[in-house]
């Protein structure tokens, strides 16, 4: 399926003679590459932690929805290609990224982890979702619903947790 899509994009680029179509194909390829990572994180979670597999399935679904919404924005001349379509793409991309990152964080969970690692993982997931909810609120209110400093602090706290987890695991080895 992925190879067929790539073949179609190559044919479009080579036969269109339009830089616009080449740019659209490039944008589509970037979306596929990026969202395949969020979906792969979901697949990894399903394989590693069946008890929370639903989150992995949601990550895959959200990745597919985001890809469809983005492809519609890039290629479509439909009613969904207007600003409401752009918002739908932004919402679905935000959720796909949040679910993909959640899947990545939870797939690394080990029942034998020390409490401090479990605490950092839980806080990191909480900050990730606080950031995702803030982004969705910002998209909905055209940026007026969330302060930049609140977004920045939440992003730093999430980033700190995401970086600290592997370091904590190294110190435990």
**pLDDT at 147 exceeding the cut of 60:** yes
pTM of this prediction exceeds 0.85? no
pLDDT at 18: 67
Q: How many domains does the chain have?
A: 1
**pLDDT at 79 exceeding the cut of 60:** no
What pLDDT digit, counting tens, does each position of 95-136 carry? Answer: 999 999 999 999 988 888 899 999 999 999 999 999 999 888
Average pLDDT, the chain: 86
Question: What range does the domain containing 34 cover?
Answer: 2-172
Reduce the secondary structure of the chain to three states and give it as a string: CHHHHHHHHHHHHHHHCCHHHHHHHHHHHHHHHHHHHHHHHHHHHHHHCHHHHHHHHHHHHHHHHHHHHHHHHHHCCCHHHCHHHHHHHHHHHHHHHHHHHHHHHHHCCCCCCCHHHHHHHHHHHHHHHHHHHHHHHHHHCCCCCCCHHHHHHHHHHHHHHHHHHHHHHHHHC
């Amino acid at each position: 399926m992925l190879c067929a899509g790539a073949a179609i994009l190559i044919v479009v680029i080579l036969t269109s003679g339009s830089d616009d179509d080449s740019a659209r194909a490039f944008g589509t390829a970037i979306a596929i590459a990026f969202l395949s990572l969020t979906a792969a994180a979901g697949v990894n979670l399903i394989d590693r932690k069946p008890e929370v597999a639903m989150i992995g399935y949601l990550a895959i679904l959200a990745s597919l929805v985001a890809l469809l919404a983005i492809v519609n924005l890039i290629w479509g001349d439909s009613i969904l290609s207007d600003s409401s379509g752009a918002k739908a793409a932004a919402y679905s991309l935000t959720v796909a990224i949040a679910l993909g990152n959640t899947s990545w964080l939870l797939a690394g969970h080990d029942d034998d982890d020390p409490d401090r690692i479990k605490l950092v993982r839980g806080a990191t997931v909480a900050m990730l979702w606080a950031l995702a909810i803030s982004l969705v609120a910002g998209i909905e209110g055209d940026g007026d619903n969330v302060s930049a400093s609140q977004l920045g602090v939440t992003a730093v706290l999430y980033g700190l947790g995401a970086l600290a987890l592997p370091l904590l695991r190294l110190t435990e080895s």
